[in-house]
Each structure stands twice: as structure tokens, then as C-alpha cells.
A = this chain, B = another copy of it.
Amino acid sequence: MLRVSKFTDYAVVVLSRLEAEGGVQTAPGLASGTGIAEPTVAKVLKMLAQSGLVEGLRGARGGYRLLRPLASVALSEVIVAMDGPIALTACVDGGFGLCEAEHTCPVRGRWDPVNAAIRGALSAIMVSEIASPPAAPRTAAATPMPAYAAE
């Protein structure tokens, strides 16, 4: 249903905890602090480290450290780190040979502006805006939300 993976959700929670505590935190410590199972937290942190959002420090007294303040980390970066590149359809930017109805498909390549719009929207939101519990009251729903049939 057009949703991000749970890992993205976890990542935001873990990042939030990392910034709240400050300094170097261990994976088990973050697990108990967030209530997420430890192996899962470890996996999330590994992925975040590979994307350069956190830094892993090995050895005894090691742990993970935030590399950038969450106010400068766009939500899209976290999503890309956890879920891979943001593309709403399988036909991304004109790949060939994958779609059998390639010659008849009138939609080829036309999803690009849609992807761009989504990326833009997610790049405008910083992780700190959804992570900080006692944060400044953000103007909720800056974008006009049309009235959908709430299923």
C-alpha cells in the first residue's frame, strides 16, 4: 500500500535515540532503549553505517556514533539507506527488456516526474522533524490534503 519498510521506521527511532543520548552508543544499549529486538537494531545500524549516516566503532568500548545532526538528514536519505532507491514502479528511467508489453505500453518512462515529485517531498522533510519528542510544534500538514475515502 505504498509504504516504507519497517526498517525505515526503526531507523528513525534508532537515530532519534542516538541523538537524544549523544556520544557513542552500543547496539544492545540502543535495543533496550528503543524496545526493538537487538539483532534487528544491529542490522539497522549496519545499514545506516554503510550509508554514512552513522559511524561504527569497533573493539571494546565501541559502538555507533551519529555523523550528522538529524536536522540536516533528509528523510529520503534514510529511506534510500534502508529500502534502496526511491522509484514507484519497476520500469525505472527507461530500463529495457524487462517489460513484455514494452512496445505497446503507453506509460514507458512517464513515471519519472512522479518519482521526482515523491523524492522532492521526502527530501524536504528532515529526520529531526519526526524524531524529536519535545520538538518545536511543526506546522502539521503543510500540504493541502485532499479528502480521500478513508478506508
Taking Cβ atoms with an 8 Å cutoff, the residues of A that contact B are 1-6, 9, 12-13, 16-17, 20, 33-36, 51, 74-76, 79-80, 83-90, 100-101, 104-107, 110-114, 116-125, 129-133, 138, 140-146, 148-151
A-B contact pairs, 13 of them (CB 8 A): A2-B87, A2-B118, A16-B107, A17-B106, A20-B106, A36-B101, A76-B148, A80-B148, A85-B151, A113-B129, A113-B140, A116-B145, A117-B122
Contact of A106 among B16, B113, B148 (CB under 8 A): B16
| Chain A interface, >50% SS class | loop
B145 touches A119 (CB 8 A): yes
Given A146-B76, A149-B80, do A88 and B16 touch, yes or no (CB 8 Å)?
A: no
Report B-chain residues with C-beta under 8 Å of the C-beta of A20.
Answer: 106
Given A83-B1, A104-B34, do A110 and B89 touch, yes or no (CB 8 Å)?
A: no
A118: shortest Cβ distance to chain B, in Å? 6
- Copies of this chain held together in the complex: 2
Given A112-B141, A125-B114, do A85 and B148 touch, yes or no (CB 8 Å)?
A: yes
Besides the contacts A2-B83, A4-B88, A121-B121, what 17 more A-B pairs have beta carbons closer than 8 Å?
A1-B84, A2-B2, A2-B3, A2-B79, A2-B86, A3-B90, A34-B104, A34-B105, A36-B101, A74-B146, A80-B151, A84-B151, A112-B141, A116-B145, A117-B124, A119-B145, A119-B148
